[in-house]
A and B are shown apart, each in its own frame.
Chain A
Amino acid sequence: SIPTSAASEEDAELLSEEQHARSVLRESFLRCLLSMTNKKVQFNMYEKVKVEATFGASDIDVLNFQVSDLHTPIGVQKEALIRCRDVISFTFDI
Chain B
Amino acid sequence: MQCGWPLLGPLRWISYVNKQVKVKAGKDAEHRGWLMTVDPVSSSLVLVTFREGGGASVQVVMGHAVEEVQVLQEADEETTERLQASFLSPQTCRLDQ
Contacts and interface: CB of A to CB of B under 8 A. Distances in A.
Nearest to B17: A25
B11 A62 contact: no
The secondary-structure label for the interface of chain A is helix
26 contacts: A18-B11, A20-B96, A21-B13, A25-B10, A27-B94, A28-B37, A29-B46, A34-B87, A36-B58, A44-B26, A60-B41, A61-B42, A62-B41, A62-B44, A85-B64, A88-B61, A89-B25, A89-B62, A90-B60, A93-B55, A93-B56, A93-B57, A94-B55, A94-B57, A94-B58, A94-B87
Interface of A: 17-29, 31-32, 34-36, 44, 46, 60-62, 84-85, 87-94
Pairs of residues from A and B, 9 with the lowest C-beta to C-beta distance, nearest first: A28-B37, A62-B42, A88-B26, A21-B10, A31-B87, A29-B39, A22-B10, A21-B14, A89-B61
Interface of B: 9-11, 13-14, 17, 25-26, 29, 31, 36-42, 44, 46, 55-62, 64-65, 84, 86-88, 94-96
